[in-house]
Amino acid sequence: MNLKELSKLLNLSQTTVSRALNGYPEVSEATRQRVVKAAEAHSYSPNARAQGLAMGRSRCIGHVISVRDSGEMVNPIFGDFMAGAGETYAAHGYEMMLTRVDEQDEDEAYRSLKARGAVDGVIIHAPRQRDARLPLLDQLGLPFVVHGRASGSTVDYSWLDVNNRRAFEMATQHLIDLGHKRLALINGDEALDFAMRRRMGFEAAIANNGLTLDPACMSSNDMTEGHGYASASAMLERNPAPTAFVVSSIISALGVRRAAEERGLRVGADTSIVTFDDCLSYLRIGVDTPVFTAVQSSVREAGAALAQMLIDRIQNPDMPLAQRLWETEFVVGSSSGPLKDGT
């Protein structure tokens, strides 16, 4: 049964039925009860999107991805994040809108979304230092939350982030405690805030232990298997070569493992790897004996949590900003081991 049929059955206007089901105060309690009972008796379920439009909302959440960050769209990390967010959207009757734009058109995309009322809010991905999107969205009055943080931002905002600095300081210290002194960092794009923080954690552990940074053993780029392989291959050709790697993604870590094994090195014995693990649904590092030693945090759970944070902000615009910092879990796997004598 649809709204028109239910209204005809009750001999009420569609507007009155809709307002009764949505609890509008101008509808009498007797009428509301009659409408609710009829709706239940005839299994009528109001269309969430139509309800939203009637209340001036789109019931849709936006995700704008620029060409600059287009690697995000084919990255399994992004896919898991969207899966988690999508579960939360569905539970609350929201849809998602994914928009890909040229970098120079990104600001206009947000302005258009706001002007057309196409979305009720947006989630910001891949924040950079002093990210210009944040003051723009604040000015537009379009609700938003950020996956990560943007150092140097000129506005306050809601965010959820992993303690990336602490995670990479812990990962690096684990290798130092195993006796490794020549360490390499294979990082994400350091124009992005999370990668900058991971580098800071790596550098802090090196400095705290009186070791020396080797710029030739530090690389940053998109977190692909190819980046991990190419970077590790070049570093392993050096003399002396690093004996251990701290890696920003399990995807890149697979490339590091491939580079090591091509050179006859046994991972966990001849060389060690500690990686960040987003707990990807289709790329598990093992259960009983994890393949990689890792600092872990579920990106799928982050997607679900951020979606809930945004929906809460949409429904309660005056609520305090939410800022959540998640700590990682350290898991020892087979990819790290003590420094070999004489190495």
For the chain, give the percent of residues with pLDDT over 70.
93
For the residues 195-208, what does the mean pLDDT come to? 98
pLDDT of 15: 85
Q: How far apart are CA 245 and CA 233, in angstroms?
A: 12
Yes or no: say if 244 and 220 are a contact pair by the CB < 8 Å rule: no
Three-state DSSP class for residue 99: strand
Q: Supply the angle between the helices 29-41 and 3-10 in degrees, to the nearest 10.
A: 120
In the predicted structure, residue 186 carries a pLDDT above the cut 70: yes
pLDDT of 284: 79
In the predicted structure, residue 52 carries a pLDDT above the cut 70: no
For the residues 261-274, what does the mean pLDDT come to? 97
ω into 46 cis (within 30 of 0): no
pLDDT, mean over the chain: 91
Q: How far apart are CA 205 and CA 248, in angstroms?
A: 16
What stretches of the chain show up as alpha helix (H) in DSSP? Answer: 3-10, 14-21, 29-41, 48-54, 76-91, 106-116, 133-140, 164-177, 193-208, 225-236, 250-262, 299-315
> Whole-model pTM?
0.84
In the predicted structure, residue 53 carries a pLDDT above the cut 70: no
Q: How far apart are CA 5 and CA 134, in angstroms?
A: 46
In the predicted structure, residue 49 carries a pLDDT above the cut 80: no
In the predicted structure, residue 54 carries a pLDDT above the cut 60: no
The tens digit of pLDDT for each residue in 151-179 reads 999 899 999 999 999 999 999 999 999 99
SS3 content of the chain, % helix, strand, coil (to 5): 45, 15, 35
CA within 13 Å, CB half, 192: 23
pLDDT of 50: 57
In the predicted structure, residue 342 carries a pLDDT above the cut 70: no
Q: What are the counts of helices (DSSP H) followed by strands (DSSP E) for the chain?
A: 12, 12
Would you state the torsion angle of the CA atoms of residues 295, 296, 302, 305, taken in this order, to the nearest 10 degrees? -110
Give the confidence band of 51 by pLDDT, cuts at 50, 70, 90.
low
- The residue among 47 and 252 whose pLDDT is bigger is 252
Q: Tell me the C-alpha to C-alpha distance, in Å, between residue 287 and each of 21, 174, 283, 292, 332.
A: 49, 21, 12, 11, 11
Q: How far apart are CA 217 and CA 182, in angstroms?
A: 9
Which residues 6+ apart lie within 8 Å of 178 measured at CB?
Answer: 244, 272, 336, 337, 338, 339
Yes or no: say if 152 and 185 are a contact pair by the CB < 8 Å rule: no
Give the confidence band of 226 by pLDDT, cuts at 50, 70, 90.
very high
Closest listed residue to residue 83, CA positions, set 308, 304, 311: 304
- In degrees and rounded to multiples of 5, residue 4 shows phi and psi of -60, -45
Three-state DSSP class for residue 94: coil
Closest listed residue to residue 162, CA positions, set 1, 330, 341: 330
Which residues 6+ apart lie within 8 Å of 237 measured at CB?
Answer: none
pLDDT of 119: 96
Three-state DSSP class for residue 63: strand
Joined together, the tokens standing for residue 56 give 């001036």
The tens digit of pLDDT for each residue in 60-116 reads 999 999 877 766 666 789 999 999 999 999 998 899 999 989 888 999 999 999 999
Q: How far apart are CA 263 and CA 250, in angstroms?
A: 20
Three-state DSSP class for residue 65: strand
Specify the residue for token string 């790596």: 202
Joined together, the tokens standing for residue 87 give 């579960």
